[in-house]
Amino acid sequence: MLKWLRLTTTALAVGGCSGPLSTLDTAGSAAASIATLWWAMLAGAAILTVLVMTLLALAFRRRPTPAPGGTRLWIGGLGVAMPSTVLLVLLGFALALGEQTIARKAAGVVVVEASAHQWYWDFRHPGMAGEIVTRDVLHIPAGRPVDLRLEAHDVIHSFWVPRLAGKMDAIPGHVNVIRIDAKEPGRFEGQCAEFCGLGHAGHRFRVVAHDAAGWTAFQRGEQP
């Protein structure tokens, strides 16, 4: 089922769901599993919509006597039992998925410090000879989990690279951590997602995911 959904996902992404900031055109594991969740929920929502609309339409058909069904059917069954079951299953699924996505302790995680400003991002990467600082371009190794430690220096911003993962706010006075990864080397667009004043629309950045050789070169200080 999941595999089928993933295949459909890819097919749909190719035909119209792609875009530099598309959450459906995924390139990281967090974004991919969230997209799967979305397609599953969309299918469920479609079925429920059809059910409700059909019941609604049938209420208007001409009939000789009032239709059957009392509170047991309408309220006990359709109103309480049905949604409770659907929601509990969905909730369990979503919690499990969230557990896989959050920045739990794991081996081989690359840690990058990100600080948000009105209206640019500074990224401090681990290099061979100390920190490597870049502005508005984040460098990561492809195929490895990367934790971003987010800080903000003025107002609240939000770090978001839709094709790789969900978003996380950068809040003054607090440090938040988000885990991202890119399956393949490439360039991915990022956008500040929390309203941060006049420059919010243009508060963009880019993620460059390197292959192993490229990452080593970057860490040595050789700008690609």
Partner 1 sequence: MSALSRHRALTAIWGSPRGWRGTVSSVNHSDIGRRFILAAFAFFAIGGVLAMLIRAQLATPGSAFVGPEIYNQLFTMHGSIMMFLFAIPMFEGLALYLLPKMLGSRDMAFPRLSAYGWWCYVFGGSILIAALALGVAPDSGWFMYTPLSSKAYTPGINADVWLLGITFVEISAVSAAIEITVSILRLRAPGMRLDRMPLLAWYLLVTALMMVVAFPPLILGSILLEVERAFGWPFFDPLRGGSPLLWQHLFWLFGHPEVYIIFLPAAGVVSTVLPVMARTRILGYGWIVAALLALAFLSFGLWVHHMFTTGIPHMALGFFSAASALVAVPTALQIFAWIGTLWKGRPELKLPMLYLLGFFVIFVLGGLTGVMLAMVPFDWQAHDTHFVVAHLHYVLVGGFVFPMLAGAYYWLPHFTGRARIPLLGEAAFWLILIGFNLTFFLMHLTGLLGMPRRIYTYPSDMGWTWLNLLSSVGSFIMAFGFAMFAVDVALQIFLSRRARRNPWGAHTLEWAMPLPAPAYNFASQPRVADGEPLAADPDLPLRLARGEGYLAEIRHGWRETMAVDVTTGAVDHVIILPGNTRLPIITALATGCFFLALLFGFYWLAPLPLVAVTVLGWRWAWTLGWREEIGPVPIGAGETALTHREAAGAPGWWGSVFLLVADGTLLGSLLFGYAFLWVVAPNWPPPELIAAGLPQGAVAALAALAGTVLTRLAASAGVAGNNAASSRWASLAVGAQAVVIAALLWLGLAELPAPTGHAYAASSWAMIAYGVLHAFIALLCAAFIRARIASGHIRKGRVLETSVAQLFGDYAGLATWLILACVLAPLVLA
Partner 2 sequence: MMLLARASAGLIFWAFGFSVLYGLHGIGCAYGWPSTEVGGGNLFRWVMVASWLLLCAGGAALIWLAKAAPSGLERRLSLTSAVVGCAATFVTGLPVAVTSACV
Nearest partner of 113 among 130, 129, 95, judged by Cα:
130
When binding is defined by CB under 8 A, the residue of 14, 82, 102, 201 that contacts partner 2 is: 102
The whole-angstrom separation of Cα 213 and Cα 165 is 24
What is the β-pairing status of strands 167-170 and 110-117?
unpaired
Ramachandran area for residue 136 (φ above 0: left; ψ -120 to 50: alpha; else beta): left
Q: Considering beta carbons, is residue 75 or 128 the nearer one to partner 2?
A: 75
The whole-angstrom separation of Cα 91 and Cα 121 is 35
Q: Considering beta carbons, is residue 83 or 199 the nearer one to partner 2?
A: 83
Q: Does 138 bind partner 1 (CB under 8 A)?
A: no
How far is residue 135 from each of residues 31, 82, 113, 200, measured CA to CA in Å?
24, 51, 12, 17
Q: Does 173 bind partner 1 (CB under 8 A)?
A: yes
Q: Does 128 bind partner 1 (CB under 8 A)?
A: no
Q: Does 197 bind partner 1 (CB under 8 A)?
A: yes
CB 166 within 8 A of CB 150: no
Q: Does 187 bind partner 2 (CB under 8 A)?
A: no
Q: Which of residues 108-167 bind partner 2 (CB under 8 A)?
A: none
Q: Using CB under 8 A, which of the segments 108-116, 130-138, 153-161, 216-224 binds partner 1?
A: 153-161
Closest distance between partner 1 and the C-beta of residue 55, in Å? 5
Q: Which of residues 58-97 bind partner 2 (CB under 8 A)?
A: 88, 91, 95-96
